[in-house]
Amino acid sequence: MAKNIVEKIDDQVKIKTILLSVSDKSGLEAFIPGLIEVNPEILILSTGGTYGKIKEILGKKADACLKQVSDYTGQPETQGGLVKTLDFKIYLGLLTETYNEAHQEDLKRTAALAIDMVVVNLYPFSETIAKENVSLEEARGNIDIGGPTMIRASAKNFIRVASVVDPSSYPLILAKLKANKGSLSLEDRFELAQKAFEHTAIYDRHISRYLASKPANDIKSCYKSGE
């Protein structure tokens, strides 16, 4: 089996394809038009409510730059949005390296796109468990799976991909893109990766502490008796 050995890294990577799926939609009204202003040919892949919000922001312009993840992958979202982004084409696009010939052949073979930026924030687990009388089942339902996976994949591949997890960082990212003709530097991507892994570490810590605080008997609240 061929090893994944990095032989060359680009300092500046132009942001052409973005995967965007957020629970907290604040800041999108300025961020989305700003991205298109920087690169009018940009493609945004999105899901569910995020897709609807972006379409609302862009109006008729959405037709030229916005696509549902399900249309891109060819796999419709499952009922209730249980599975939306966990797809081979998505993760191939996140993990491929520009100068790895085998990776580039895989992209061609699957008609997949290299994804240059991921903009993701997670289901509000901490906010959910802070509510009075919240059940274990409610908390379990707010454990995000696809979001952390996208964040980790993009942050791991910071040599090419930017991983954005904080809406407060949108203005700075736009400023850097405008100053660098639509590109982000290796230093920018590395700093974003550091923040991304810290973000998922805190998220998982909240989940582990919450579950550790619950007695095993509480598991019964996750299902209804057939009696």
Q: Can you tell me whether residue 66 is helix, strand or coil?
A: strand
Which pLDDT tens digit goes with each residue over 142-193?
888 888 999 999 999 999 999 999 999 999 999 999 999 999 999 999 999 9
Give the pLDDT score at 151. Answer: 96
Query: Both tokens of residue 39?
Result: 């690169």
The ranges of the chain with pLDDT < 50 are: 1, 225-227
Give the pLDDT score at 224. Answer: 54
Amino acid at 204: D
Q: Which CATH number fits domain 13-123+146-204: 1.10.260.40, 3.40.50.720, 3.40.50.1100, 3.40.50.1380?
A: 3.40.50.1380
Strand 43-46: give its sheet, edge to edge: 66-68, 43-46, 17-22, 117-121, 162-164
Give the pLDDT score at 1. Answer: 43
Give the pLDDT score at 222. Answer: 61
H or E segment and range at residue 151: helix 146-156
Q: Can you tell me whether residue 95 is helix, strand or coil?
A: helix
Determine the Cα–Cα distance for residues 165 and 183; give it in Å rounded to an integer: 18
Would you give the DSSP letter of residue 214?
Answer: S
Give the pLDDT score at 25. Answer: 94
Give the pLDDT score at 126. Answer: 77
Query: Which residues lie closer than 8 Å to 227 by C-beta, 6 or more apart?
Result: none
Which pLDDT tens digit goes with each residue over 135-155?
888 888 888 888 899 999 999
Give the pLDDT score at 144. Answer: 84
Query: Both tokens of residue 176?
Result: 């850097």
Q: pTM higher than 0.85, yes or no?
A: yes
The strand pair at 43-46 and 162-164 is best described as unpaired
Give the pLDDT score at 219. Answer: 72
CB-CB neighbours of 178 under 10 Å: 12
Query: Which residues lie closer than 8 Å to 82 by C-beta, 6 or more apart?
Result: none
Domain ranges of the chain: 13-123+146-204
